């Protein structure tokens, strides 16, 4: 019988492989591409800093992740990641205001009046949640204060009281678990307030379930302190992978899992069939078969969909459970300039939002002073940029090496984004010297993150996804597990991914707690 095979070298796969090999397991890690990180990808920028094409920040209150970074020797590379600042802009309905202007309802271009929790998108969102889950704001404050002060019993008490309040919440006669997030907003906010949230929140209002999204909001600190890694966010999966190989683990690149079957008998070890792909992602036509006693699928929804399984490998609810979450598309367009022209507008860092197709933009992200994350649309807004997909890539003489290995951006998209930026800020800036763009809505990554569908987020379903085999417990010779952020309480996040991995490792693979707090 083979050892443990981990499929996928994203942060979840690298973490699971690292924990298993240091737990004296024989582990081989398979990856369809030729880099670690998955949806975490850091591209170096000439002159310093990073273009974070995927995940770009961490919440410092995520203690297990902070402890892991310390264990890996990365804690000293944590640096502040500025979020919304008072001087940042909001461009909506043709008006340009500062974030601080939301303190005066008269100055904003929406007739929302004075509100109990403020007139910006976050305040109106909290108002809607409070109308559904009584005492939400107070319970969230109590919970996070206890977490910061390291009072676990008080934190657990606040969380339990929140779950009770959420469990009895009703929206227009329906239990909270059966309504969507837009229904919660519509039940509490008038038309102008709804428009403000949609226009200025930065992200498109998603259509997923209300209950799991309110859970995410509860576990997000009211005044979150965000940080990033000065060596790029990808340094986390890279450090995990390096530690994995240093402990004796093996990595096989360019191998995409396409089929899982039983090697000998039902319930026995598995035979895995891999398609060998080249560095462009093209299938070479060659196949490789491997035996494994235990398989950990560290993959997102779409990659799991495409795996063919022999009858009996997974349970009867597998296909339906896969669809309990829906993919959300997002795209990032980075523009590098010869000078940070936005400083003349009174802005140096942080995030501005707009109802223009840019949706949200970040100044000097990743420690790169001349860089703009110029457009970061998500959901339906991302489709606007499809019209610029064809045509030559953007090129300026001397700018080709600005992004070391970053994917090119269409010249037409860059030109349009630059025009919108100048219009939004009221400036005439010189065109960018370089650009790169990542569309998390195109293969091999057809989603940036996932959200729970209404009525589907249950602990029972999440548990089935972690251990989907209908038969084949470890004692019978084979075991198959899933490590993914998709079916967790915090989908789309590093803490969600690592938390799922820990559950699989401890509950099903009998690993002890790691030497750092989890």
Residue pLDDT, tens place only, 185-244: 999 999 999 999 999 999 999 999 999 999 999 999 998 899 999 999 999 999 999 999
Q: Are residues 321 and 256 in the same domain?
A: yes
User: Which of the listed residues 440, 473, 495 is the one where a domain comes to its end?
Assistant: 440
Same domain, 268 and 318: yes
The answer on 238 and 288 residing in a single domain is yes
Domain count, the chain: 3
Domain shared by 253 and 213, yes or no: no
Q: Compute the mean pLDDT over every residue in the chain, rounded to the nearest whole number.
A: 94
Neighbouring CB atoms inside 10 A of 353's CB total 24
Q: Which two tokens stand for residue 233?
A: 């966010």
- Around Cβ 139, how many Cβ atoms within 10 Å? 22
Cα–Cα distance between 141 and 302 in angstroms, integer?
A: 37
Q: Cα separation of 68 and 498, whole Å? A: 10
- DSSP letter at 208? S
Tell me, yes or no, whether 173 lies in a domain. Answer: yes
pLDDT at 472 (0 to 100): 39
Q: For the residues 95-108, what does the mean pLDDT come to?
A: 93
Last residue of some domain: 223, 256, 272? 223
Which residue, 186, 202, 223, sits at the end of a domain? 223
One domain, residues 93 and 218:
yes
Q: What is the pLDDT of residues 142-168, one digit of tens each?
A: 999 999 999 999 999 999 999 999 999
Question: Domain for residue 229, yes or no?
Answer: no
383 with 492, same domain: the answer is no
**d(Cα 69, Cα 73) in Å, to the nearest integer?**
6
Examine the domain organization and report whether 104 and 219 are in the same domain: yes
State mean pLDDT over 372-394. 95
Q: Domain containing 366 — which CATH number? A: 3.30.70.2100
Residues 337 and 484 in one domain: no
Domain that holds residue 213: 89-223
Name the pLDDT band for 478 (thresholds 50, 70, 90): low
Task: Answer whether residue 322 is part of any domain.
Answer: yes
Give the CATH number of the domain where residue 279 resides: 3.50.50.60
Both 396 and 256 in one domain: the answer is no
Q: Are 86 and 98 in contact (CB under 8 A)?
A: yes
Q: Where does the pLDDT of residue 516 fall: very low under 50, low under 70, confident under 90, or very high at 90 and above?
A: confident
Q: How far is CA 407 from the centre of its chain?
A: 19
Q: Look at residue 29 in the predicted model and tell me its pLDDT.
A: 98
Confidence of residue 9 (pLDDT cuts 50, 70, 90): very high
Question: Same domain for 177 and 295?
Answer: no
Handedness of CA 91, 96, 99, 105 (dihedral sign): negative
- The answer to whether position 73 is within a domain reads no
Residue 306 inside a domain? The answer is yes
Percent of the chain with pLDDT over 70: 97
357 and 429 housed in the same domain: yes
* DSSP secondary structure, 254-314, as one string: SEEEEEEEESSSTTS-EEEEEEEE-TTS-EEEEEEEEEESEEEE---HHHHHT-EE-TTSS
Task: Give Cα separations from 242 to 245, 250, 483 (angstroms).
Answer: 5, 10, 20
Shared domain for 103 and 187, answered yes or no, is yes
């Amino acid at each position: 019988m083979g050892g443990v095979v981990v499929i996928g070298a994203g942060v979840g796969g690298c973490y699971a492989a690292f924990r298993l090999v240091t737990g004296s397991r024989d582990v081989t890690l398979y990856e369809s591409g030729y880099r670690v990180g998955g949806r975490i990808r850091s591209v170096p920028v000439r002159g310093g800093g990073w273009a974070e094409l995927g995940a770009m920040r961490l919440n410092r209150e995520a203690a297990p992740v902070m402890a892991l970074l310390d264990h890996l020797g990365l804690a000293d590379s944590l640096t502040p990641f500025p979020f919304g600042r008072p001087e940042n802009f909001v461009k909506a309905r043709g008006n340009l205001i500062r974030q601080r202007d939301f303190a005066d309802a008269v100055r904003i271009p929406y007739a929302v009046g004075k509100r109990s929790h403020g007139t910006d998108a976050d305040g109106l969102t909290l108002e809607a949640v409070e109308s559904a889950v009584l005492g939400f704001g107070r319970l969230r404050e109590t919970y996070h204060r206890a977490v910061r002060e390291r009072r676990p019993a008080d934190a657990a008490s606040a969380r339990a009281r929140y779950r009770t309040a959420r469990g009895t919440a009703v929206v227009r006669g329906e239990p909270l678990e059966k309504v969507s997030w837009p229904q919660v907003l519509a039940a509490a906010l008038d038309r102008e307030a709804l428009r403000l949230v949609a226009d200025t929140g930065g992200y498109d209002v998603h259509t997923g379930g209300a209950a799991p999204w309110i859970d995410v909001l509860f576990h997000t600190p009211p005044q979150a302190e965000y940080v990033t890694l000065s060596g790029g966010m990808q340094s986390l999966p890279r450090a995990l992978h390096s530690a994995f190989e240093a402990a004796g683990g093996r990595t096989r690149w360019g191998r995409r899992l396409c089929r899982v079957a039983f090697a000998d008998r039902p319930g026995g070890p598995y035979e895995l069939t891999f398609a060998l792909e080249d560095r462009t992602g093209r299938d070479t036509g060659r196949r490789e078969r491997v035996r494994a006693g235990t398989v950990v699928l560290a993959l997102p929804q779409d990659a799991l969909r495409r795996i063919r399984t022999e009858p009996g490998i997974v349970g009867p609810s597998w296909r339906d459970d896969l669809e309990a979450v829906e993919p959300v598309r997002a795209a990032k367009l980075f523009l590098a300039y010869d000078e940070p022209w936005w400083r003349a507008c009174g802005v140096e860092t942080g995030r501005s939002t707009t109802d223009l197709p840019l949706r949200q933009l970040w100044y000097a992200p990743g420690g790169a002073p001349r860089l703009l994350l110029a457009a970061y649309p998500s959901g339906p807004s991302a489709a606007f940029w499809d019209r610029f997909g064809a045509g030559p890539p953007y090129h300026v003489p001397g700018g080709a090496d600005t992004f070391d290995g970053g994917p090119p951006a269409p010249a037409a998209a860059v030109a349009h984004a630059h025009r919108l930026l100048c219009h939004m800020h009221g400036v005439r800036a010189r065109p960018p010297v370089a650009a790169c763009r990542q569309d998390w809505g195109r293969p091999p990554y057809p989603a940036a993150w996932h959200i729970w569908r209404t009525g589907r987020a249950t602990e029972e379903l999440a548990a089935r996804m972690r251990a989907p085999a209908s038969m084949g417990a470890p004692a019978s010779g084979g075991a198959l597990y899933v490590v993914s952020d998709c079916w967790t309480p915090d989908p789309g996040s590093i803490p969600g991914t690592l938390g799922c991995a820990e559950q699989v490792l401890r509950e099903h693979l009998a690993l002890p707690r790691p030497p750092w707090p989890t």
